[in-house]
Amino acid sequence: MRGVAVRTGKRLDEVGQRLATLLTRLFTSHDLQESKARLEEAQRVAHVGYWVWSLDTDCVTWSDETYRIFGLKPQEGPIGLATVREMIHPEDRESVFRTAEEAVLGGVRPDSEHRLVRPNGEVRTVHSRGEVKRDASGRPYQMFGTVQDITDRKWAEEALQRTQFYLSEGQRLAHMGSWVFNAAGFDHWSSDLFLIHGLDPTGKPPTLEGYLDLVHPEDRDSMQQEIQKMLADHRGFDFTKRIVRPDGTTRYVRCVGVPVTERATFKGFVGTGIDVTEQELLTQELRREQAYLAEAQSLTHIGSWVCNFVTGEIFHLSDEAFRMYGFDPSFRDIPFERFYNATHPEDEPSLRENFYGAIHARRDYDLEYRICLPDGTIRVLRSVGHHNPSGEVGEYTGVTMDITERKHAEKERERLRQLEADLAHINRVNMMGELAAGLAHEIKQPIAASITSARTFAMVVA
């Protein structure tokens, strides 16, 4: 019995060992299958496949993801190298196999980026890396590697390059450059910003002191104050200053910057520098012209304006036009009604008929009327308006002239003319009186002589 028990125990031990071995193999196989499944899933997600190239048979074995990258259905067994060669883009084919040949001969790892053409004609870009395996004698017998579909990344890179090119070209055309500034100074200057300041684009951004040296001496202190203020307040800014290039030329540069924060932490500023020299010179010339025009209008008491009399919009009104009505030019939002309501009550009916009649007929007008200033003074104005045929209904451009003094002068001339006429009439009357007196004298003399002669004759006869 004891022997039977021993033999039975040994058999149970053998069965247990066999069962343990089977379970180990089962679990190992399950783990391998699970690892393989995870590997394939990782390849699919990352668009990365692997390949094995037998240098002896020129056959290539692909993973399922490699097949999908090449636009093929996964299959068992290797495929011929000639088939692989035909799927590589014709323009990249030579360089791909030259890289592989150099790897086999030179011992370097093959690394290439190339295009492939799927059976449906779609072109994809892949990045392939490999490693050459050699036997004990150093003879290469196999090449193993990975291939990744980087088409989407390449498209993104090309889009970024196009954007950068457009940005660079736009900056060049607009005479604009970009910069990055932090507490330590300038961290970045674009090449166009170097050119604006007359500096070598291949150099490093200037230090804060070097930058201030480029600023015109008359603008340097205010520029330094602006920089200190923007760093202290962490606020955006927009100001224009002059710079002096190394060759001595002076340019006007407009600086615009905005603060950059990351998780509520101030990091610095990013902004642009724009060469606005031509615009600034034109603006200065325009200001001079406007000053000359304003002075001429003030001397001649002529104001200019552009209005839409239908909507009541005032697009332009010179300072002299404001002063003519007794308004302060600094208050630019005075409505059209206040100007019209200043019309003298006795002249308003006639003005309304002729003024709005011209507007509805879309014709020019030339009108004279009186206005009452806020202090009660009465002035006489002449308004000449030109209707813009290509503009909106009621849109007029014109001038208004204060002709009060001229009207007074005309009245004075009329009164003087009347006085002169009256004086001439009086002179004519006086002259007629003198003439009548002289004529009467002349008539009286012969009559008196005749009477004397008659008397003398009578005396002689008697």
Interval 48-66: pLDDT, tens: 888 999 998 989 999 888 9
- Please indicate, yes or no, if residue 429 is contained in any of the structural domains: no
Decide if pLDDT at 103 tops 70.
Answer: yes
Query: Residue 122 has what pLDDT?
Result: 94
Q: Is the pLDDT of residue 1 over 50?
A: no
pLDDT attached to residue 41: 67
The H or E element containing residue 446 is helix 404-461
* Domain coverage including residue 362: 283-402
Give the residue-averaged pLDDT of 229-243. Answer: 89
pLDDT at 274: 92
Q: How far apart are CA 62 and CA 40, in angstroms?
A: 12
Among residues 235, 256, 275, which one ends one of the domains?
Answer: 275
Average pLDDT over residues 338-348: 94
303-327 confidence digits (pLDDT tens): 999 999 999 999 999 999 999 999 9
Per-residue model confidence (pLDDT) at position 79: 87
Q: Which has the closest alpha carbon to 212: 221, 203, 204?
A: 221
Q: Answer for the pair 310, 385: CB distance below 8 angstroms, yes or no.
A: no
Are 271 and 288 part of one and the same domain?
no
pLDDT band at 438 (very low <50, low <70, confident <90, very high): low
User: Which pLDDT score is estimated for 18?
Assistant: 58
Residue 298, CA distances (Å) to 196, 291, 324 in order: 42, 10, 10
Highest mean pLDDT among 73-77, 115-119, 285-289, 455-459: 115-119
Which uninterrupted H or E stretch holds 178? strand 176-182
pLDDT the model gives residue 444: 66
Q: What percent of the chain has pLDDT over 90?
A: 46
| Average pLDDT of the residues in 235-251 | 92
Q: Kindly report which listed range (20-24, 157-161, 250-254, 420-424) carries the lowest average pLDDT score.
A: 20-24
Residue 271 shares a structural domain with residue 292: no
Binned at pLDDT 50, 70 and 90, residue 33 comes out as low
Of the residues 275, 298, 313, the one at which a domain ends: 275
pLDDT digits (tens, 9 = 90+) for 365-386: 999 999 999 999 999 999 999 9
Neighbouring C-alpha atoms within 13 Å toward the C-beta of 430: 6
pLDDT band at 36 (very low <50, low <70, confident <90, very high): low
User: What per-residue confidence (pLDDT) applies to 377?
Assistant: 92
Q: Report yes or no on 200 lying in a domain.
A: yes
> With pLDDT > 70 as the criterion, what percentage of the chain qualifies?
83
In the predicted structure, residue 76 carries a pLDDT above the cut 60: yes
Per-residue burial over 421-454, b = 16 or more CB atoms within 10 Å of its CB, e = otherwise: eeeeeeeeeeeeeeeeeeeeeeeeeeeeeeeeee
Looking at residue 86, its pLDDT comes to: 93
Per mean pLDDT, which of 287-296, 360-369, 404-413 is the most reliable?
Answer: 360-369
The lowest-confidence range among 21-25, 96-100, 252-256 is: 21-25
Confidence of residue 9 (pLDDT cuts 50, 70, 90): very low
pLDDT of 23: 46
The pair of three-digit structure tokens given for residue 168, joined into one six-digit string: 């660079």
Q: What's the average model confidence in pLDDT over 335-349?
A: 93
- The per-residue pLDDT of the chain, averaged, comes to 84
Mean pLDDT of 154-175: 78
Taking the C-alpha atoms of residue 251 and residue 244, their distance in angstroms, rounded to an integer, is: 7
Mean per-residue pLDDT, 159-171: 75
Centre a 10 Å sphere on the Cβ of residue 198 and count the other Cβ atoms it contains: 15
Q: Could you tell me if 125 and 115 are in contact, meaning their C-beta atoms sit under 8 angstroms apart?
A: yes
CA angle 201, 207, 210 (to 5 degrees): 85
Residue 190 lies in a domain: yes
- Nearest alpha carbon to residue 433 among 404, 425, 383, 421: 425
Cα gap 304→386, rounded to integer Å: 12
Give the Cβ contact number of residue 117 at 10 Å: 17
Question: Looking at the domain assignment, is residue 415 inside a domain?
Answer: no
**139 assigned to some structural domain:** yes
Strand residue runs (E) in 250-312: 250-262, 265-275, 302-308
181 and 242 assigned to the same domain? yes
Q: Is residue 86 part of a domain?
A: yes
In the predicted model, is pLDDT for residue 5 greater than 50? no
Say if residues 128 and 145 touch (Cβ distance below 8 Å): yes
Same domain, 269 and 288: no
39 pLDDT above the threshold of 80: no
115 forms beta bridges with 125
Q: Tell whether 86 and 174 lie within a shared domain.
A: no
Residue 413 confidence (pLDDT)? 82
Task: Count how many domains the chain has.
Answer: 3
pLDDT score of 419 more than 50 = yes
Q: Which residues of 267-302 are buried (b: 16+ CB within 10 A; e: fewer)?
A: ebbbbbbbbbbeebeeeeeeeeeeeeebeebeeebb
Q: From its phi and psi, is residue 73 left (phi > 0), alpha (psi between -120 and 50) or beta? A: beta
Report the C-alpha gap between 249 and 434 in whole angstroms: 89
Rounded distance between C-alpha atoms, residue 95 and residue 99, angstroms: 6
Q: How many residues does the structure list for the chain?
A: 462
Stronger pLDDT, 245 or 30, i.e. the higher one:
245
pLDDT at 12: 41
Q: For residue 38, what pLDDT is reported?
A: 65
Same domain, 134 and 193: no
Within-domain flag for 371: yes
Q: Specify if 423 maps to a domain.
A: no
Confidence class for position 8, pLDDT limits 50, 70, 90: very low
Residue 305 CB burial class (10 angstroms; 0-12, 13-18, ≥19): buried
Residues 262 and 320 in one domain: no
Report d(CA 67, CA 416) in Å as an integer. Answer: 113
What CATH number is attached to the domain comprising 326? 3.30.450.20
Q: Are 268 and 296 found together in one domain? A: no
Same-domain status, 213 and 140: no
Closest CA to 253 of 360, 154, 177, 349: 177
Tell me, yes or no, whether 226 and 250 share the same domain.
yes
Q: How confident is the model at residue 410 (pLDDT cuts 50, 70, 90)?
A: confident
| 295 vs 191: CA distance, rounded Å | 45
Residues 49 and 89 in one domain: yes
- The secondary structure of residue 216, as a DSSP letter, is -
Query: Among 393, 398, 399, which Cα is nearest to 362's?
Result: 393
Phi, psi of 114 (to 5 degrees): -150, 175
Last residue of a domain, one of 149, 182, 202: 149
Q: Which residues are within 8 A (CB) of 382 and not within 5 positions of it... i.e. 6 or more apart?
A: 366, 367, 368, 400, 401, 403
Give the confidence band of 460 by pLDDT, cuts at 50, 70, 90: low
Are residues 262 and 218 both part of a single domain?
Answer: yes
Is the pLDDT score of 450 beyond 80? no
